[in-house]
Amino acid sequence: MLTVLIYGAVTSAILAMLAVGFTLIFGVARILNLAHGAFYALGAYFAYTFTAILKLPLIVAAALSVALVALFGVAMERVLVRPLRQSSLAVLMITLVVALTTEQALFVAFGSQSKNVPAFVNFPIYLHGVSVDGQRLLALVIAVALIGALWLFIQRTRLGSAILAVSQDPEAAQYMGIPANRIFTIVMGLSAALAGAAGVIAAPFLSVRPTMDQTAMITAFSVVIVGGLGSIPGSILAALVIGYSQTIVAFYLNPEWTGTVSLVAILLTLVLRPSGLMGRAVGA
């Protein structure tokens, strides 16, 4: 029972990290960033490169990886997305192709075999008699810390208020002197950094392969839909719901069907309550 509680929490934490970044950029810029999974994959692969190839210490490698992914996101937004912002389909397509190109680049550069990223914490930790892998607990702690920091940033700082303003009404914000375009770029950087961090922190205990962006995207979709596109608290709630559902299905029902949990969650939400748990009204 305690095992399920803890494992559900860890699963939910990673889901939340992926989902929050994705919902953030949608909430602020109305962009469905299909390259979000690629940020996650790049985070893991940068971490691999810095630790295994360049032999940098873990902390440095982690920080550098997240920074580089953020830069990648910013570059993508500035160079490819901003000129196409008039057409949401065009933005969708270009982010999609960025994701596909990145995946192929990883194949070509690193090969198809999975890579090993060393863990910060290599030993099991015992909580009330249940042994949990240290790295997973660390992932949980870091996820909570990062999301908490993001939330505080948005609620308490001037830049955060600017972001909120732009997310509610970009034109009005522009009239008030807030540079909407620059806000979009900053938010994309934040979103990418979060996804990249998820990649860095989860890489030691998940699979680092060129196709890891695909599973990340499907899961991010499900959490974001169930939580409500654009709502950070919604994503956190939905991550818990889906994370624990998957864990319960795996532990008590049939592990063969864990993959279907997120898909069914999407369909149910869209059919019953499309705006999700905490999103805005959405039907036609």
Partner 1 sequence: MRRIVPLVTSAVFAGTLAMSVQASAAGKPILIGLDTPIQLQVGKDTEAAVKMAVDEINAKGGVLGRKLEYVTADEGTDPQLGVSAINKLTSDDHVDVLIGGYDSGVTLAEEPHIARSKTIWLGVGSASPNITALVGKHYGQYKYIFRVNPLNSALQAKQIVDFAEHVVKGQLHRDKVAILGESAIWVRGLVPVLVKGLEAHGIKVTYQQLFDETMTDFTPLFARVKDSGAQFLLTILSHANSDVFVKQLYEARLPMPYGGIDVKSMTPNFCSRVNGAAVGETTVNFITRAPITDKTIAFWDDFVKINGRAPVYTAPGAYNSVYLYAWAVEKAGTTDADKVIRQLEKADYLGVGGKIKFSKVHDDIDGPGYQNLLFVQWQKDCTRQVVWPKAVATGKVTLPPWVGK
Partner 2 sequence: MRARNWVGGAALVGLLAGLPPLLHNQYFTGVFIVCAIDGIWAASWDFFSGLTGRENFGHALFIGGGAYAAAFLNGTFGFNPWLSLPAGVAIAVALGLLVGVPTLRLKGPYFALATLASAAIMQQVAINLWQYTGGTEGIYGLDTLFESSLGFYYFVLAVLGATVLVLGVAARSRWGTILRAIRGDETACQAAGVNVTVHKIASLAVSAAFAGLGGALYAQYQQAVTPNDFDVFVSISVIIMAYVGGIGSIWGAALGGILLNLMLELLRGMGEYRLWVYYLILMVVLFFMRGGVVAPLWRRLSGRGA
- What's the CA angle centered on 126, arms 1 and 262, to 5 degrees? 45
Q: In DSSP terms, which residues pair with 132 in a beta bridge? A: 125
**Residue 144 near which of partner 1, partner 2, none (CB within 5-8 Å, type-dependent):** none
| Contact track, partner 1, 143-172, x by CB under 8 A | ------------------------------
Beta bridge partners of 126: 131
Determine contact, residues 66/42, Cβ cutoff 8 Å: no
- Which pairs count as long-range contacts for 95-101, CB under 8 Å and 24+ apart, including other chains? 95/31, 95/32, 95/33, 95/34, 95/35, 96/34, 96/35, 98/34, 98/35, 98/38, 99/34, 99/35, 99/37, 99/38, 99/213, 99/217
**253 binding partner 2? (CB under 8 A):** no
Residue 237 class from Cβ within 10 Å (0-12 exposed, 13-18 middle, 19+ buried)?
A: buried
Instruction: Report the alpha-carbon distance of residue 115 to residue 141 in Å, rounded.
Output: 24
Interacting residues with partner 2 between 34 and 93 (CB under 8 A): 80, 83-84, 87-90, 92-93
Q: Which of 31, 11, 29 is nearest to 198 (CA)?
A: 11
Within 215-254, which residues bind partner 1 (CB under 8 A)?
215, 246-247, 250-251
Q: Binding to partner 2 by residue 94, rule CB under 8 A?
A: yes
Q: Are 91 and 31 in contact (CB under 8 A)?
A: yes
Contact present, 23 and 234 (Cβ < 8 Å): yes
From partner 2, partner 1, none, interface partner of 258 (C-beta below 5 to 8 A by class): partner 1
**What is the number of other CB atoms lying within 10 angstroms of the CB of residue 141?**
12
Binding mask 192-221 for partner 2 (x = CB under 8 A): ----------------------x---x--x
| Candidates 71-79, 106-114, 172-180, 262-270; binding stretch for partner 1 (CB under 8 A) | 106-114
Applying CB under 8 A, the span of 26-34, 111-119, 172-180, 186-194 interacting with partner 1 comes to 111-119
107 binds partner 2 (CB under 8 A): yes
Answer yes or no whether residue 107 interacts with partner 1 by CB under 8 A: yes
Candidates 9-17, 127-135, 164-172, 253-261; binding stretch for partner 2 (CB under 8 A)? 253-261
Provide, rounded to whole angstroms, the least separation between the CB of residue 235 and partner 1. 20
Task: Assess 12 for contact with partner 1 (CB under 8 A).
Answer: no
The 58-77 contact track toward partner 1, x by CB under 8 A, reads --------------------
Note the residues at the interface with partner 1 (CB under 8 A). 3, 7, 11, 107-108, 111-116, 118, 124, 131, 133, 204-207, 209, 215, 246-247, 250-251, 255-256, 258-259
